[in-house]
Structure 1
Amino acid sequence: MEKYLVIINWRTLVALVITGLTTHFTLIKNFQYNFDLTMISIAIIFPLVFTIRGAFRRREKAIEHLAKFKSGLITVDACLQSQAKISAEDKAKLRLNILNISKHLLEYLGPAPTSLETVREEAGKISDYIRERSMSMKFNASLKIQGFMRDVYLGIENTAAIKEHRTPASIRAYCLLFIYLYPVIYVPSVYFRLLDGGSKSDPWILYTLALISTFILISLFNVQEQLENPFDQDGIDDVKLDMFEWEK
């Protein structure tokens, strides 16, 4: 049931109230006009679908970057632990650094974020150690580990960019505004068509059509808003951050 109720919020109530009032006054004042409803698809549906697709692509990219980030951490740890010339004490410290990178990134992405600089500092400790001890490692081992650290850095920066940069706010504001204005345009036009079709004695048809169509549009907008930040754990389609936490 949760997956059905999650699309309902205060915006849903506002849109339905506006629709109900508009329908009521349309019936009382007998306000009607003939309007081509295909304009609605251009004014609302097209930009709404555009933003939903954009938010969904950001979510899929986030999953891809987090998967590469985790695989990079696993490989870096395996490479460092296999180096015979690194002391057991240093290996333990390096593993702790790797665990902290994973922990702090997921905290930064989650609903109670930490600083991104903390994540970068932990990753920098690994790179600094490899650079300082490159001469004591096996041939080309340091270069390989730095190559895997590149995947870690890309995962950090790409997911941070997805978190901070959203789909265009102006388009989302435009969609919401026109969804609220939608009943004013739609209801009188539908009323005209109903009267033309001989349904004058059935006002419930107008209420039903208006409320259902408004509910569909505002629900699609709510779905897009929940996908907008795929990390905040505020929707059923958010990225499951726990899956990408590295624990040894």
Structure 2
Amino acid sequence: MEKYLIIINWRTFVVLAISAVTTHLTLVNNFQYNFGLTMISIAIIFPLVFSIKSAFRRREKALEHLARFRSALITVNACLQSQPKISEEEKEAVQSDILAVSKSLRAYLGPDPIPLEKVRADAIKVSTYIQQRSSHMKYNASMKIQGFMGDVLSGIENTAAIKEHRTPASIRAYCLIFIYLYPIIYIPSVYYSLQEGGSESNPWILYSLGMISTFILISLFNVQIQLENPFDQVGVDDVKLELFDLNE
């Protein structure tokens, strides 16, 4: 249950407070106007949905790159372990280095990240070993292993790009500002509609409509924020990094 309540934060209480205060002032001053809410819906819902879709797309790309990284790393290890001209001591050493690459990437992506340079250094160590031992392998095998190692390096850089570069911050700021303004614009218009419908005698209808609608919007915004970093192990939809760690 706690994982689902994580979308409630200080922004939720701020926007609910704005909604409650606006509703109170609207009722006290009998302030109302007839205003179509289509423009407000477009101004908030469209960029909010766009941001959520972009964040989900980044998460799906992260899963794709991590899966390719893991499979390539497994293949590199299997190919090196099958080389007859490499000693058992060297095979154990390079396997340890390969596991270190997987462990470093998980640590970099996780909630307490290590520097990206450490991940790159571990990967380059394995890549350098492959290049140095290429003369002990058949040409086709050597090229195949180097090709898979290229997929490993590509997976590291792609997931790092997803972690470091988020969806546009300007759109998130725009959405948040309009969510804060939404109850100020929405509630007097709803009050007008309620009076036209004969429900003006029950102020709790206005309180409920205002707070529920603003809660939905700010919750969607918080979901988008949770998806911004799919690796930090905070949200319910974060990438399960342990599934891509060879050490597991």
TM (norm. structure 1) is 0.98
Who is 1:160 aligned against? 160
Structure 1 residue matching 2:4: 3-state secondary structure: helix
Partners of 2:72 and 2:224 lie apart in 1 by 31
Who is 1:57 aligned against? 57
Gaps of 5+ in 2: none
Partners of 1:141 and 1:170 lie apart in 2 by 49
Deviations along 1:12-32, whole A, 9 cap, x unmatched?
A: 111100000000000001111
Gaps of 5+ in 1: none
- One-letter amino acid of the structure 2 residue matched with residue 88 of structure 1: E
Deviations along 1:32-60, whole A, 9 cap, x unmatched?
A: 11111011221100000000000001011
Give 1:135 deviation, angstroms: 1.3
- One-letter amino acid of the structure 2 residue matched with residue 188 of structure 1: P
Partners of 2:144 and 2:247 lie apart in 1 by 22
Alignment of 1:218-237 (within 5 A): 218-237=218-237
**Contact 1:111/1:232 (CA < 8 Å) preserved in 2?**
yes
Who is 1:178 aligned against? 178
Give 1:3 deviation, angstroms: 4.2
Partners of 2:102 and 2:161 lie apart in 1 by 17
Who is 2:2 aligned against? 2
Partners of 2:247 and 2:20 lie apart in 1 by 53
- One-letter amino acid of the structure 2 residue matched with residue 82 of structure 1: S
**Contact 1:80/1:91 (CA < 8 Å) preserved in 2?**
yes
Partners of 2:228 and 2:139 lie apart in 1 by 46
Residue 44 (1) aligns with residue 62 (2): no
Who is 1:139 aligned against? 139
Deviations along 1:43-102, whole A, 9 cap, x unmatched?
A: 100000000000001011101110000001100000000001111111111111101100
Alignment of 1:1-248 (within 5 A): 1-247=1-247
Give 1:6 deviation, angstroms: 2.0
Partners of 2:223 and 2:247 lie apart in 1 by 32
Partners of 1:86 and 1:97 lie apart in 2 by 15
Give 1:114 deviation, angstroms: 0.5
- One-letter amino acid of the structure 1 residue matched with residue 154 of structure 2: L
Partners of 2:130 and 2:56 lie apart in 1 by 38
Partners of 2:202 and 2:188 lie apart in 1 by 15
Deviations along 1:146-193, whole A, 9 cap, x unmatched?
A: 010111011100000000000000000110111011001000000111
**Contact 2:16/2:211 (CA < 8 Å) preserved in 1?**
yes
Structure 2 residue matching 1:83: 3-state secondary structure: coil
1:31/1:106 CA distance change after superposition, 3 Å? same
Give 1:104 deviation, angstroms: 0.4
- One-letter amino acid of the structure 1 residue matched with residue 194 of structure 2: L
**Contact 1:100/1:122 (CA < 8 Å) preserved in 2?**
yes
Structure 1 residue matching 2:162: 3-state secondary structure: helix
Partners of 2:125 and 2:200 lie apart in 1 by 75
Give 1:132 deviation, angstroms: 1.6
- One-letter amino acid of the structure 2 residue matched with residue 77 of structure 1: N
Partners of 1:134 and 1:200 lie apart in 2 by 82
Q: Which runs of 4+ in 1 moved over 2 A?
A: 1-4
TM (norm. structure 2) is 0.98
Structure 1 residue matching 2:139: 3-state secondary structure: coil
**Contact 1:16/1:215 (CA < 8 Å) preserved in 2?**
yes
Partners of 1:102 and 1:179 lie apart in 2 by 41
**Contact 1:83/1:138 (CA < 8 Å) preserved in 2?**
no
Give 1:247 deviation, angstroms: 2.4
**Contact 2:73/2:152 (CA < 8 Å) preserved in 1?**
yes
